Copies of this chain bind each other. A is one copy, B any other.
C-alpha cells in the first residue's frame, strides 16, 4: 500500500489509565462513578459536568484500553491514529498537580504509542501517535508552560502536538499571559489541537430535556468559534504566523460566520484597522478536522480556506473557485472515537461511516484531494511524510 492511501484519524480520544484513576477518585465532576443501570447491572458512568444531562454517559475500556482502540481502527480501516486525551484534560486541577500529572501522562502516552504496532505496509510508521497535555491551568507560570512545551518536543518523539481547551490559564486564549506559550509552540512546530469542553452558558438551552444534543451539537462548536475568533482579534496569528492550529469539528461555526466577522470588524470603530489581514485570511493559516458529518459542510470549509489568501485585499470579492486544492490540503479525517457510539448493535460506527462518505462526496475535491484529507495531509502536517 502506498503511503498516500493510508487512512489517518486525527480526532480520536482516550483517557489513559492513570487519568481514569484520577476521575474514579473524585467525588464531583469530572468523575467516573459506578452505579446500577436500570436493568440492575453495574455500569461505569462518566460525568463531565455536575449538571450532566441524562446522568452522564457510559464509559468503559474503549476509553483506556489500547487494544480496544486498535480493534476500532481495524474495524474501520484506520491505519494511523493521533490520539488525544478527552476533555476536560487537566483543567480542573491546581497547577502543581496538573504539572506533575501532565509529565506522567505524556510519558504514559509516549509508551502507549511507541509500544503499539507499526503500519504493516509502512513499517517506519507506528499506528499510534499522540497529542500531549500541558499544565495549562490557572496559576501556571509562563516559563513553566514554555519549558513543558520544549520538554515535550525533546523527550517524546511520538507526541506530535498538544491538545488544549479554550480556557488558557483562566482568561481565555486571548490572554496576553499566553504570548510566551504561543512563541514556544510556534518554535517547536507542535500542532495545537483546539478542542471544546465548556460550551456556552446552559441557560441558552432552555428547560426541555434534549439529552446532550444542544451542548454537543451547538455549544461545542460555539465555544471553538468564540475561542479562535478571540485569538484572531487579539492578533495572536499576526504575531505568531508559524503557530499550527488544528480546529476540532471543522472549526465549529467559524467558516460560516467568517464573512460576517470580517464585515463586523470593518464596521466597528474599535476593531477596524487593528488586524494585519481581513478576518477571512486567517482561516487559510489553520487546519480543520473533517468531523462535520456532511459533504456540503466539508466542501464549504475547504472553500473558505481556499479563498483565504485572496481575502488579504478586499475579501468580499475573493473568487471562491481559487485555491480549492489549498483548501482541501488543510482538512484531516477524524472520528471523535470513542464518542458517538452506535445506539444499537452495529458493525461499523455510523458516525465514522458518515464522515468517510462525506469526504467521498465532496463535489469540489479531486480523488487526490480526498486521499489527502483521508491521510496524506495528516502525515505532512505531523512531519511523517517520507
Query: Which residues does chain B contribute within 8 Å of A234, judged by CB atoms?
Result: 208
- Does A177 count as interface, using CB distance less than 8 angstroms? no
Q: Given A269-B54, A354-B263, is A258 in contact with B206 using a C-beta cutoff of 8 Å?
A: no
> How far is A14 from B289 in the complex, measured between Cα atoms in Å?
42
- Does A296 count as interface, using CB distance less than 8 angstroms? yes
> How far is A133 from B56 in the complex, measured between Cα atoms in Å?
42
Q: Is there contact, CB below 8 Å, between B171 and A206?
A: yes
> How far is A320 from B264 in the complex, measured between Cα atoms in Å?
30
Interface residues of A in 300-336 (CB under 8 A from B): 300, 303-304, 307, 315-317, 319-321
Q: Is there contact, CB below 8 Å, between A204 and B221?
A: no
Q: Is there contact, CB below 8 Å, between A258 and B294?
A: yes
- Does A381 count as interface, using CB distance less than 8 angstroms? no
> How far is A93 from B214 in the complex, measured between Cα atoms in Å?
29
Query: Which residues does chain B contribute within 8 Å of A299, judged by CB atoms?
Result: 300, 320
CB distance from A96 to the nearest CB of B (A): 26
Copy count, this protein chain: 2
Q: Count contacts on A: residues with CB < 8 A to the other chain.
A: 83
Q: Which of A4-12, A27-35, A115-123, A225-233 contacts B (4 or more CB under 8 A)?
A: A225-233
CB distance from A205 to the nearest CB of B (A): 7
Q: Is there contact, CB below 8 Å, between A316 and B358?
A: yes
CB distance from A263 to the nearest CB of B (A): 4
Contacting residue for A304 out of B172, B222, B296, B341, CB 8 A? B296
A242-263 vs B, Cβ < 8 Å mask (1 yes, 0 no): 0000000110110111111111
Interface residues of A in 341-357 (CB under 8 A from B): 341-343, 350-351, 353-354, 357
CB distance from A152 to the nearest CB of B (A): 27
Query: Which residues does chain B contribute within 8 Å of A201, judged by CB atoms?
Result: 200-201, 203-204
Query: Which residues does chain B contribute within 8 Å of A212, judged by CB atoms?
Result: 264, 268, 270
CB distance from A337 to the nearest CB of B (A): 12
- Does A213 count as interface, using CB distance less than 8 angstroms? yes
23 sampled A-B residue pairs with Cβ under 8 A: A204-B226, A210-B233, A211-B268, A211-B269, A213-B261, A213-B265, A213-B270, A216-B264, A218-B222, A218-B226, A218-B253, A260-B293, A260-B297, A263-B293, A263-B350, A263-B351, A266-B343, A266-B350, A293-B316, A294-B315, A297-B300, A300-B300, A316-B350
- Would you list the 4 A-B pairs with minimal beta carbon distance, nearest first? A211-B270, A259-B294, A253-B253, A201-B201
Contacts A210-B268, A222-B222 known; 4 new A-B pairs at CB < 8 A: A201-B203, A204-B222, A208-B234, A316-B354
